[in-house]
Amino acid sequence: MHLKYLYLAGLIVSFAVSFVMHVDVFPREIIGMHDWRQTQTMWNVRNFERYDNDIRSPRVSSLNGAKKNLLRLEFPIMQWGIAQVVRLTGQDVLTARVCVWLIGIAGLVGFFGLLRTMGFSPGIALAGTVLLEFSPLFYFYTVNVIPDMFALSAGIWFLFFSFRYFRDRRWWQLLASAIALMLSSLAKLPFAMLGIIGIVFVVAEIIRHRRITRDAVAYPLTHLVFFSATINWYATVMPTWGSSPALYGIFGSTNTHQENMRILYHWMEQYIPYDLSSRPIWPFFILGALVPVGNRLVRVNYGKYVWSLAFITLLFVILQWNTITFVHDYYLLPLLPWLYIVVTAGLERVWRWCLLLPRWKYALALPLLISPVVAAPVFASELRDPRWEGYYGSFNGQVMDAYKYQRELQAITGPDEKVIVLNDNSMQIITWLIRKRGYVFGNDALEPGWIADVVDNDDVSYLYSNTRTFEQRPDIAPLLDSLVASYGNINVYYVGKTE
């Protein structure tokens, strides 16, 4: 009992360390790496909270196009939930980051339970959980506002409940597993591939009993019932995605051989050694893969499940090769559960070897297990903290003055004022920083007739411009009634109706 509380205290201490390491990021405005994807998510949250709370109607900032600002991608369960909390707190970015952090913590609790269910000793399960917590990817996305962390955490709970069901065969475990997979795949469809463990389970059941058993029917049937919600949502929304590269993957790739080789080198030099892992865990992953610990489970051989997860997730990243490229590292999050199970297996192997040593050698060997746990937060911070800075943003040159003067630019017009924004290729970032919906253009090719149209038909009165070339055009200048404000390279003009 005392050891149980000790392990619980260890988990709580690791969560406290994570909180302290992120404490200066929680209130920080959305900027830096993946600012485009995060501001898109924050616009979902803001629109749910302020304008349309229908969870089926996630909206962004740009009113351009036939469907205005309606953009249905993943099912916005995380965004909608955060919006309800924002209603209570009145804070947007701070609330969203804290919510995502808590979602990540929930996933870590599930991972600890998963490791214990798989038979790892409590201390090793704690160490494995901490190493996942401070893996560079997990550490970074613990406070980045994208739905992938929700999908990952729900996916980990799916694995936990499934393994409990494989061991105990309780109906509530089966039900919880199906619900968790539904939530994970709704939040991000690729996480449905974690369900491969169900296929392995059914096949193993039939082979072991030489007939179709009740469990071999109950498991897939229950999951299919709940997974039908995922099927229904994505069958409805995917036809609206157009030519999104995520739909076609490598089958729609136009990469040259040289580009593919550059991506491969990036995998070898960055993704594998410094994003999915870091130096402290390299030897333990290799050891866990090559010399895994013996099976200690009742009726469950976890090896076949772990390697099936490895196979399907690696196949996924190969198929999405040209989408991931050098940028979309959050596509790698589905690899983390099995990878850190293997790392934990390496830790367990070293622990078993240490137990066989004489006491004085055991005392010398123990730091082998403690040192990676202590070093992991240091490496995570070193590798990832710079990526919250503005210069890591994809659209750095266009948005930095909007970031620098966002309070002043927000105050020029009311919060519900619709505006025109120029030169925002992301279609989200500048409008998020100034907290305005409106008509967003990726360049300065805006025609006079378009300005007149939105002024007359949608009561637009202000135009935010970061290009002098546009403002000096002879056909545009007469429409810019007056310069309201100028901050950095951003000029704000009144273009509304004059009495």
**DSSP-derived 3-state class of residue 483:** strand
Domain parsing of the chain, residue ranges: 2-389, 396-494
Strands of the sheet containing 490-494, edge to edge, are 438-440, 419-421, 462-465, 490-494, 482-487
* Measured CA distances, 491 to 387, 463, 471 (Å): 29, 8, 9
pTM of this structure: 0.94
* Measured CA distances, 21 to 50, 70, 238 (Å): 32, 36, 38
**DSSP-derived 3-state class of residue 490:** strand
Element (H, E) at 484: strand 482-487
- Please compute, for residue 40, the number of CA atoms within 13 A of its CA located in the half-sphere on the CB side: 16
The CB density around residue 89, as the number of other CB atoms within 10 Å, is 12
**DSSP-derived 3-state class of residue 371:** helix
How would you write the pLDDT of the chain (499 residues) with one tens digit per residue? 567 788 889 999 999 999 999 999 999 999 889 999 999 999 999 999 999 999 999 999 999 876 788 999 999 999 999 999 999 999 999 999 999 999 999 999 999 999 999 989 899 999 999 999 999 999 999 999 999 999 999 999 999 999 999 999 999 999 999 999 999 999 999 999 999 999 999 999 999 888 999 999 999 999 999 999 999 999 999 998 877 777 777 777 778 888 889 989 999 999 999 999 988 899 899 988 887 655 554 345 778 999 999 999 999 999 998 889 888 999 999 999 999 999 999 988 888 777 776 776 666 667 777 888 999 999 999 989 889 887 777 677 778 899 999 999 999 998 889 999 998 888 899 999 999 999 998 888 888 898 989 998 888 999 999 888 888 888 888 888 899 999 999 999 999 876 5
Cα dihedral sign, 161-195-101-53 = negative
Q: How far apart are CA 156 and CA 153, in angstroms?
A: 5
